[in-house]
Amino acid sequence: MRYIIGVDAGAVRTTAAAFDLSGRLLSIENGKSGNVSENFDSGVRNILDTIAIINDSLENQCVLVVIGVAGMETSGLKERLTEALQAKLTCPVQVFSDAQLAMYAYFQGGDGVLAIAGTGSIAYAKRGDTYYRCGGYGTILGDEGSAYYIAIEGLKLCLRRSDMGLPPDSLTNAMVDAVGGDLKSVVDFVATHTKQEIASLAPIVSAFAARNDRDARQILVNAGSLLADNVNVLLRRLSLLSPAIAVSGSILQNVNTVTDSFYRRVLEQFPNARFITDEVVIPKGAYYRYLATVKPTEE
């Protein structure tokens, strides 16, 4: 049986799935982080290992592998990654950003707008063969509203309260305790830890927001507004008055305060917008990519 493999290579895990030529899910596997921006060799190895599990179970009749990886548009690693994977795989390999793969999954190759907020963030749009983006430029220039942003804002509170001569409150105590127990630890933690490790502190802020901590809640509200602002930039740029907006990523899908703030700010400017919140198998974007590029005779 011939099949397509889609791979969502994320900072936390790599998810690979195989689909037959009619789009039926055949197999899905999770592996270790495919973050090639953090560690190229380790990321490539984890991607290949996850693909190998599927190929071994399906007798290796794969006709196309499509891989979505965060940071492909800004890291300069797309060509290098494609070459590294193609050298180990016998079928054609296509490498895209994780946002592009998700666009194919949500809109089945059609046009739309996508907001992603997980470890990082980006707003993405597709019209015809042209892609548009807003944000997603990494920890210094972007990632507005992401788990990384939320964690950093929480850590900033620790330093701000100290600078103002205020005693630490419960939220700042929890943040400081998580990184080592004193204010020096806050600075050292940010300087010496990865984006993923810093982002892992975001649930502390979310937990305090759920207890109606004012500062924590404001961080989450601001996160949703920033994510909406990026989407609104694309909607105005493309003159989309009644857009379909897909919502993806752990923050937008699981942190209600962020999501509510995001919806509210988008609807303020685009009251006819509708939101797609259905869960999709992101690697299935590979199947729709296959449909968009395959020649009829190849069926």
Rounded to an integer, what distance in angstroms lies between the CA atom of residue 144 and that of residue 149? 6
- Hey, what are 158's tokens? 């620790």
Nearest to 119 by CA among 94, 92, 146: 146
Distant-in-sequence, close-in-space partners of 53: CB < 8 Å, separation ≥ 6: 16, 29, 31
What confidence score (pLDDT) does residue 249 get? 87
Dihedral sign for Cα atoms in the order 135, 138, 141, 142: positive
What confidence score (pLDDT) does residue 160 get? 92
Residues of the chain with pLDDT under 50: 296-297, 299
> What pTM was computed for the model?
0.84
Question: How many other C-beta atoms can be found within 10 angstroms of the C-beta atom of residue 118?
Answer: 24
The answer to whether 62 touches 49, Cβ cutoff 8 Å, is: no
What confidence score (pLDDT) does residue 202 get? 97
By CB neighbour count within 10 A (0-12 exposed, 13-18 middle, 19+ buried), where does 144 fall? Answer: buried
Question: How many other C-beta atoms can be found within 10 angstroms of the C-beta atom of residue 288?
Answer: 23
What confidence score (pLDDT) does residue 98 get? 86
User: Do 3-110+279-298 and 138-276 agree at the fold level?
Assistant: yes
What confidence score (pLDDT) does residue 73 get? 67
3-state SS of 57-125 is HCCCCEEEEEEEECCCCCCCCHHHHHHHHHCCCCCCEEEEEHHHHHHHHHHCCCCEEEEEECCCEEEEE
Specify the CATH class of 138-276 in words: alpha beta
- Hey, what are 74's tokens? 């800004």
Sorted by where each begins, the domain ranges of the chain are 3-110+279-298, 138-276
Residue with tokens 């207890």: 211
Radius of gyration from C-alpha coordinates of the chain: 20
The answer to whether 31 touches 283, Cβ cutoff 8 Å, is: no
Question: How many other C-beta atoms can be found within 10 angstroms of the C-beta atom of residue 73?
Answer: 19
Which helix (DSSP H) or strand (DSSP E) does residue 150 occupy?
helix 147-163
Rounded to an integer, what distance in angstroms lies between the CA atom of residue 282 and that of residue 16? 9
Which helix (DSSP H) or strand (DSSP E) does residue 99 occupy?
helix 98-107
Give the architecture (CATH level 2) of 3-110+279-298. Answer: 2-Layer Sandwich (3.30)
DSSP type of residue 104: H
Nearest to 92 by CA among 164, 5, 168: 5
Beta strand 62-69 with 3-9: parallel, antiparallel or unpaired? parallel
Residue with tokens 């806050």: 186
User: In this predicted model, what pLDDT tens digit does every residue of 224-245 receive, in sequence order?
Assistant: 999 999 999 999 998 887 788 9
Task: Return mean pLDDT, the chain.
Answer: 90
DSSP per residue, 155-208: HHHHHHHHHTTPPP-HHHHHHHHHHTSSHHHHHHHHHHS-HHHHHTTHHHHHHH
